Structure 1
């Protein structure tokens, strides 16, 4: 099987229905595999970032590395969908995963030499790699599942992926348990992250291309050929004038903008080193709960897909408002000029800030799963969804690049919180409008919807009205 050979090979995959969900070429197995890849690479990256400052006492190097990362990510997030459509999953995902290993290694180097240059360069390369990985992941997660079960498969992916953050949080907690004072993590922590990331790079070769994946009724995930450079360049440019993508921009910008505030100024400022690692176990664990809960609402709460979308957005809006309100109450007592005393998990004052940080993780998963569900409801073919997912990740990364510099320049913490709360709140009515105008609403059974998805889409948005 060639990568990016550009050949449609319908005879290579049986058209007969099969009932086994655990076939290697089933959507369930393939989504689980991309979840494991992200478990090892961005999952471990999240655990490293979630400690605040990349595990360093001074967050300046990590902030500058993350700015470089998300600047290149913004470009290659948009281009990533086109690159995935040209190269296919193996080259795209493996190239993306390998940059995570280099990034973790750059902080191992920084532990000894305190030179930012390597970390910043590694961050820029990781932005390129992350753009490729997440565009491919978005296409797989939104295009491979049956149309009536996309929320469930998104939840499955999100749970596996965030287990990486849970395990990754245990690594610094265990390896730095006796270092309760403010300190940088030890070398073994970074080496542990690098081992997982290397495994993820190798595992990416197990992902099948769309034309080799068959649903239980025998339908293919896509019947289109791999694309060309000229086609993808044209289609990517069209995204910037696509009204559906423009409505997603505020949600995309907001969805990573709050990380610098939560990681550096909540977890990083309020807790000591070992407790930050422990907190990350529960932060990413909360993401698993959040994705499962919102996935159930988006797939099973009502027969009408459009109504499920409205209810899901409403639930996230209510939960989000409550959590950011709690964040405001937590933020008022401290600032950059009046930093708090760092808490240990054994302190009596630990519970309140811990519950807030846990809730931030819950909201992150609910918010991003909701956005991915909306994107997945706009089309059913892999090529279109890879471009949509790439655009989402590109805008998301541009927001994150700005956010990390906002933190580097010591913008008041209360201002950071208000901006984050405002951005997420602005997103909800725009996503609801998108669901109302662009998501196909019918009351057919799941089997009927799946059979309709078997009809070749000719690379069109088959789910728009």
Structure 2
């Protein structure tokens, strides 16, 4: 039964007490009647329906296109589009400090509230964050920017955990890499379009700060992203292309959900070896966006660099996603090849960054407009290509981590908890490095520490990638994770019924 998936669903009984009668979904299920499952066939594509993984991932991708995608375009300018980089550094510290706390429990919120509500709530903070910079243009109200950053941390924790659970648990095993890369392409298209908006609106702007119209456009588009999330369906309604359903436990108690975080560590202790990679996965933005782009380029060159950076992210996601799903090579071999390639890229790209950093002006001269590089300057091409490769590297890093986590489990609950750990620890790392930037630590120190942490974290993660990722995910291990939680809330009959499914006797 290793190729089968089981969905354990507890349904309400119509009274205040929960109905404990087990309802077992088989390996596959016929699509129900109704518009959610009415298939349409597009030219050159397979059949798709509203409650299919493809349709839902497409919608989630556009939510992220409009919210964190545009946020990335703003952040990619360095300083959130401001000449004074310190204000944005403080706001980002608040964002990721809150995110780090919320991230540990956001998997629980996602399981309790459902994907749709979690994503929509998460999108609201992005719009407020852009509004705070529009306000800062006129009032210099630093406190509002920092508050908006903290509120964004709470919202982002919800959004990214819901997104991660979808991306890792909705697809079938053989297509997870393509789903991840497709998401990354659309998501980073938000950064591309956002950077293009900034470039067009500020092509003749030499003040160092983006225009009010740029911030206003971002506010409206980000809010639309939050509204779009309300049109998603929750995980229990999604049916895959092979007729299987996502493993999900309905109506869990808060007790079982918070217990799931501890359960993830206790039953899968090897996950701690991934924590250093989680920690390092966003720290390079601080140096790249503020220490390179914001510090050494004028506004229109920063806008062009940001555009190229997010285009490189799309290319990286396409290349890595296709390689990770290359079916002619066993999955365990692909996992190891991705690890080795990422390690090599770390030294090649960040080694090239040393050639730039050792000759760059010191941080004390970062806000001197006369020293900033314009894209018409003869010395622009080399640093621009370096920045492009930084974007490519980020996409390879993020795609690899998501694919590895997806390869370690097909359980919606387990991947939601893993995604919560991922985003929480990732944000702790980002908060530390944005705080260092806000304290005006030398850019050369930021470069050196970022490079070292990326390289070392890959080495620490090697045992998990090398020995835990198999050619197919063990269903029994996934369901064992749920057994421990179910024992807190369900009678023995439910567990016995589920074990019978595993043994093939039902």
TM-score scaled to structure 2, two decimals?
Answer: 0.84
**Larger radius of gyration, structure 1 or 2?**
2
Instruction: Tell me how far 1:378 sits from its aligned partner.
Output: 1.2
2:322 corresponds to 1:263: no
Alignment-derived partner of residue 192 in structure 1: 217
* Matched-pair contact (CA < 8 Å) for 2:97–2:427: yes
3-state SS of 1:441 partner: coil
Report the Cα distance in structure 2 between the residues aligned to 1:390 and 1:22, rounded to whole angstroms. 29
Report the Cα distance in structure 1 between the residues aligned to 2:303 and 2:10, rounded to whole angstroms. 44
* Matched-pair contact (CA < 8 Å) for 2:53–2:238: yes
3-state SS of 2:135 partner: helix
Alignment-derived partner of residue 123 in structure 1: 149
Report the Cα distance in structure 2 between the residues aligned to 1:10 and 1:238, rounded to whole angstroms. 24
Alignment-derived partner of residue 416 in structure 2: 386
Alignment-derived partner of residue 283 in structure 1: 309
Alignment-derived partner of residue 457 in structure 1: 479
Report the Cα distance in structure 2 between the residues aligned to 1:301 and 1:329, rounded to whole angstroms. 39
Report the Cα distance in structure 1 between the residues aligned to 2:384 and 2:413, rounded to whole angstroms. 41
* Matched-pair contact (CA < 8 Å) for 1:309–1:432: no
Alignment-derived partner of residue 405 in structure 1: 435
User: Which of the numbers 21, 30, 51 marks the counterpart of 1:15?
Assistant: 30
3-state SS of 2:209 partner: coil
Instruction: Tell me how far 1:6 sits from its aligned partner.
Output: 7.1
**Which structure 2 segments of 5+ residues have no match?**
1-8, 13-22, 33-38, 484-506
User: Which of the numbers 72, 79, 88 marks the counterpart of 1:53?
Assistant: 79
Alignment-derived partner of residue 19 in structure 2: none
Map 1:42-191; keep pairs closer than 5 Å.
Answer: 42-180=68-206, 182-191=207-216
Instruction: Tell me how far 1:303 sits from its aligned partner.
Output: 3.0
Alignment-derived partner of residue 436 in structure 1: 466
2:326 corresponds to 1:336: no
Instruction: Tell me how far 1:258 sits from its aligned partner.
Output: 1.0
Instruction: Tell me how far 1:9 sits from its aligned partner.
Output: 10
* Matched-pair contact (CA < 8 Å) for 1:155–1:295: yes
Alignment-derived partner of residue 447 in structure 2: 417
Residues 455 and 171 of structure 1: CA distance in aligned 2, closer, same or farther (over 3 Å): same
Report the Cα distance in structure 2 between the residues aligned to 1:162 and 1:99, rounded to whole angstroms. 19
Instruction: Tell me how far 1:16 sits from its aligned partner.
Output: 5.4
**Which structure 1 segments of 5+ residues have no match?**
443-448
Alignment-derived partner of residue 445 in structure 1: none
* Matched-pair contact (CA < 8 Å) for 2:339–2:465: no
Alignment-derived partner of residue 27 in structure 1: 53
Residues 387 and 223 of structure 1: CA distance in aligned 2, closer, same or farther (over 3 Å): closer
Report the Cα distance in structure 2 between the residues aligned to 1:29 and 1:396, rounded to whole angstroms. 28
Residues 454 and 170 of structure 1: CA distance in aligned 2, closer, same or farther (over 3 Å): farther
Residue-by-residue CA offset, 1:66-87 (whole Å, 9 max, x unaligned): 1111011001111110100001
Residue-by-residue CA offset, 1:208-243 (whole Å, 9 max, x unaligned): 211211111111122432422101111223445542
Report the Cα distance in structure 2 between the residues aligned to 1:300 and 1:441, rounded to whole angstroms. 13
Aligned length: 448
Residue-by-residue CA offset, 1:151-203 (whole Å, 9 max, x unaligned): 111000000000000001011111111113x4211111111111110110111
Alignment-derived partner of residue 446 in structure 1: none
3-state SS of 1:24 partner: coil
3-state SS of 2:242 partner: coil
* Matched-pair contact (CA < 8 Å) for 1:53–1:61: yes
Residue-by-residue CA offset, 1:337-394 (whole Å, 9 max, x unaligned): 4558211112221100100011100000000110111111111011110110010000
Residue-by-residue CA offset, 1:243-270 (whole Å, 9 max, x unaligned): 2321111111111111111001111112
2:396 corresponds to 1:366: yes
Map 1:235-314; keep pairs closer than 5 Å.
Answer: 235-239=260-264, 242-300=268-326, 302-314=328-340
2:222 corresponds to 1:207: no
Residues 411 and 98 of structure 1: CA distance in aligned 2, closer, same or farther (over 3 Å): same
TM-score scaled to structure 1, two decimals?
Answer: 0.91
Instruction: Tell me how far 1:15 sits from its aligned partner.
Output: 2.1
Report the Cα distance in structure 2 between the residues aligned to 1:6 and 1:397, rounded to whole angstroms. 36
2:344 corresponds to 1:322: no
User: Which of the numbers 244, 247, 259 marks the counterpart of 1:234?
Assistant: 259
